[in-house]
Amino acid sequence: MPAETIDGKQRVTQLAEALERWSSDDLEAPKLLFNHETSLLAFHRRVLALARDETAPLLERLRFLCISCTNLDEFFEVRVASTRQRIRHGVNQPGADGLSPQGTMAAIRERVLEMVEAQYRVLDEELLPALREQGIRIIARNRFTRRQRRWLHNHFRTQILPVLSPLGLDPAHPFPRILNKSLNFAVSLSGRDAFGRSSAMALVRAPRSLPRIIRIPKSYSAGPDDFVFLSSIVHEFIDELFPGMEVLGSYQFRVTRNSELLVDEEEVEDLARALEGELMERGFAEAVRLEVAAGCPEHVVNLLASKFGVDLDDVYHCNGPVNLNRMVAVYDLADRPDLKFPPFNPHIPRSLGPGSDLFASIRRCDHVLHHPYDSFQPVLDLARQAARDPQVLAIKQTLYRTGVDSMLADLLIEAARNGKDVTVVVELRARFDEEANISLATRMQEAGVQVVYGVVGHKAHAKMMLIVRREGRRLRRYVHLGTGNYHQGTAKAYTDWGMLSADPVIAQDVHRVFQLLSGYGRAQPLKRLVQSPFDLHDFILGRIEREAELARAGKPGLIMAKMNGLTEAGVIRALYAASRAGVRIRLVVRGSCCLRPGIPGLSENIRVRSVLGRFLEHSRVYHFGNDGDPETWASSADWMGRNLFQRVEVCFPIDDPEAAERVRHDSIDLVFREDVQAWELDGQGQWRLVRSNNAKLHVQELLMQQATDG
């Protein structure tokens, strides 16, 4: 594991130097907040650290390296793109942390340079040697044997060359449009072609139809798992694309573009059609980063930077393949289960198992499920029973991310064809899933499903399913509420909480939220649920202040929460005030956290930890001590401005004491045990791995074992 580790009981308490000018009465001081962007980059560094974890299976470590690269791509596509736009439009106002957009970009540059260097160092010095020891080799060009080169040459001529279209740069061939994150080669040339033209430069684009990792047949290698990058093959034989010309050098490059879709929702008449038009242009939007091979000459770098309209501060030199994340193909191609996480079979509660009457089971009591330790199958089975039950009259569903092949979508279509009234709120603006969601919405509409796209200006991020069933003379409603998406794949890879309930008050609240999403009207008061953008922010502030008042009265105050991001300044300042009042605060934050914990006189009662591992921590849980009458809530919302003010989110109570205890234990208590591995944040923004002498247990492994034991 990384060298930056601390004992589990060690606390950072002396930060006077970092906050020497802070006034104890000034909770508005910008320096009390970390920068959102740099905090998010710190999360990406923690993901990269998993690639160095020698206790993890080797191919999983490779996968974590690739995930860190993909995360960094998205960071540029979204976060950097947004910061650059503010600069371009002259918006110089500092954020809540006091850092201007220009200052933010400088901080990003410094940290990304360090991270990119670390990524290639981890690959070259740790992963590739370890893979070779296991018989998995990535063959570099200078290591091709004569027989391998002969096979690769034939492969190039028969499988690659026919697909490539080299482009000379001259007045008749201007610089082409380069697709976002595509692999390209800048080629320096000398000589004249058949038409007497001389060109110093040409481009070669590698179509996405070509695999980026090629397996060398076993008969040409020392074993079954020898691979080579497509880029290595192209480099080796690129001269065949320019017969009679001298290739002076070829250099990989890749451009990353702004991937935010800019649609004026107030002006368009058809959001789906407008987004389809934007999707066609997304791959050619404004460039925000240029990656080039480490040996790329300065004049070539300058040419590319000028053509893409980026500054040299937006250029990153890569000491290896510019599309490093494509190495994830090795994970799939290498048939080595011994180098991967062992299979895990999630638990299915007996009362929700195959053949169960789920409606009867849910009528008896609420069921709280912790995915992926508990199977997502009962949720699908409930939708299946609803689709085929003649007593079910209507189904309402929110869909944010579902995947291209969604069993749930198929069941909703089946329900519509069976005569049920099916209404689905599809969030078209789910980033990077827009195309899949448009296709899904079209398919459901063609089957008779009533599809709506939520509310203009507010993403529908709530996770809800409502089933209306006739039972005798009455209509009963059944609901599923969750912290995650209705996506079969992420249900196996993300940690989330879900609740199945027939509580009539909760069901009525869910019905009212659906009314707002599909129709018009003022927000009606909810009795059990809390909803953003209307009252969730005030609810959170109110609960924090209640704990602070208890502490000021000499009673124990307790706040515990788990989320993906904590960035909303108002909530952070309320937590500071509660900490100063004496409230004990424990936070589990997976990603960006702008709160400074452990500052004497401010946040010394706050501890922040983070868990990373096999599964992506995704659940949102809030717990308040409430003077011995504790409240536990689950939600689709993080404590971030976008969730609290710009999205439709739902927060729901976990009323059953046993279920609430499990939610709190699994999500928060377990993370703060001193015998488990977790990352802890200090007041200077450093995340360090807690590793006491016996801290060898992993939270997720403990929960998997708990699920296996049933």
**Mean pLDDT on 472-483:** 96
pLDDT grade, residue 500 (50/70/90)?
Answer: very high
**Mean pLDDT on 246-266:** 77
Span(s) in the chain for CATH 3.30.870.10: 350-525, 531-709
120 is an annotated ligand-binding site residue: no
At residue 473, does pLDDT exceed 80? yes
- The CATH H-level (homologous superfamily) assignment of domain 531-709 is Endonuclease Chain A (3.30.870.10)
3-state SS record for 126-195: HHHHHHHHCCEEECCHHHCCHHHHHHHHHHHHHHHHHHCCCEECECCECCCCCCCCCCEEEEEEECECCC
Reply yes or no: is the peptide bond before residue 533 cis, omega within 30 of 0: yes
At residue 566, does pLDDT exceed 60? yes
Residue 481, C-beta contacts closer than 8 angstroms, at least 6 positions apart = 463, 464, 498, 499, 501, 506, 510, 634, 650, 652
Residue tagged active-site, from 461, 487, 623, 698: 461
Looking at CATH, the fold of the domain delimited by 139-330 is given as: polyphosphate kinase like (3.30.1840)
Token digits for 212? Answer: 């980026």
401 is an annotated ligand-binding site residue: yes
Token digits for 312? Answer: 């040299």
3-state SS record for 544-586: HHHHHHHHHCCCCCEEEEEECCECCHHHHHHHHHHHHHCCEEE
494 is an annotated ligand-binding site residue: yes
Q: What is the pLDDT of residues 339-355, one digit of tens each?
A: 999 999 999 999 999 98
Strands (E), 191-328: 201-205, 213-215, 225-229, 246-257, 287-293, 315-318
Span(s) in the chain for CATH 3.30.1840.10: 139-330
299 is an annotated ligand-binding site residue: no
Highest mean pLDDT among 433-437, 451-455, 479-483: 479-483
pLDDT of 651 reads: 98
At residue 84, does pLDDT exceed 80? yes
The structure's pTM equals 0.90
pLDDT of 350 reads: 92
pLDDT of 263 reads: 42
At residue 274, does pLDDT exceed 50? no
At residue 470, does pLDDT exceed 50? yes
pLDDT grade, residue 25 (50/70/90)?
Answer: low
At residue 2, does pLDDT exceed 50? no
Q: Are 354 and 380 in contact (CB under 8 A)?
A: no
Q: Which range is least confidently modeled, 192-196, 452-456, 462-466?
A: 192-196
Strands (E), 299-343: 315-318
pLDDT of 426 reads: 84
pLDDT grade, residue 437 (50/70/90)?
Answer: low
DSSP 403: -
Q: What is the pLDDT of residues 170-205, one digit of tens each?
A: 765 678 889 889 999 999 988 877 666 667 889 999
> Dihedrals φ, ψ of 522, to 5°?
-75, 155
At residue 22, does pLDDT exceed 60? no
At residue 271, does pLDDT exceed 50? no
At residue 279, does pLDDT exceed 50? no
pLDDT of 148 reads: 94
pLDDT of 46 reads: 96
> Dihedrals φ, ψ of 635, to 5°?
-155, 160
At residue 572, does pLDDT exceed 50? yes
pLDDT grade, residue 58 (50/70/90)?
Answer: very high
* H and E: helices and strands count for the chain: 21, 29
665 is catalytic: no
Looking at CATH, the fold of the domain delimited by 350-525 is given as: Endonuclease; Chain A (3.30.870)
CB atoms within 10 A of CB 484: 23
Instruction: Give the C-alpha distances (Å, rounded to integers) separating 547 from 460, 540, 558, 637.
Output: 30, 11, 6, 21
pLDDT of 3 reads: 36
Name the average pLDDT for the chain.
Answer: 89
pLDDT of 371 reads: 96
618 is an annotated ligand-binding site residue: yes
Q: Are 446 and 465 in contact (CB under 8 A)?
A: no
At residue 24, does pLDDT exceed 60? no
CA distance 444 to 450: 8
pLDDT of 693 reads: 54
At residue 695, does pLDDT exceed 80? no
pLDDT of 262 reads: 47
CB atoms within 10 A of CB 133: 10
pLDDT of 365 reads: 96
Nearest to residue 127, comparing CAs of 200, 211, 209, 68?
68
CA distance 68 to 53: 14
Give percent of the chain with pLDDT exceeding 70: 89
pLDDT of 537 reads: 97
pLDDT grade, residue 433 (50/70/90)?
Answer: low
Q: What is the pLDDT of residues 288-323, one digit of tens each?
A: 999 999 999 999 999 999 999 999 999 999 999 999
Decide which of 46 and 13 is more confident: 46
CA distance 147 to 280: 43
Q: Which range is least confidently modeled, 169-183, 593-607, 623-637?
A: 169-183
Residue 94, C-beta contacts closer than 8 angstroms, at least 6 positions apart = 30, 100, 103
388 is an annotated ligand-binding site residue: no
pLDDT grade, residue 405 (50/70/90)?
Answer: confident
Please give the full DSSP string across 612-637, using - where no structure is assigned: -SSSEE--EEEEE-GGGS-EEEEES-
Q: Which range is least confidently modeled, 3-17, 76-90, 357-371, 555-569?
A: 3-17
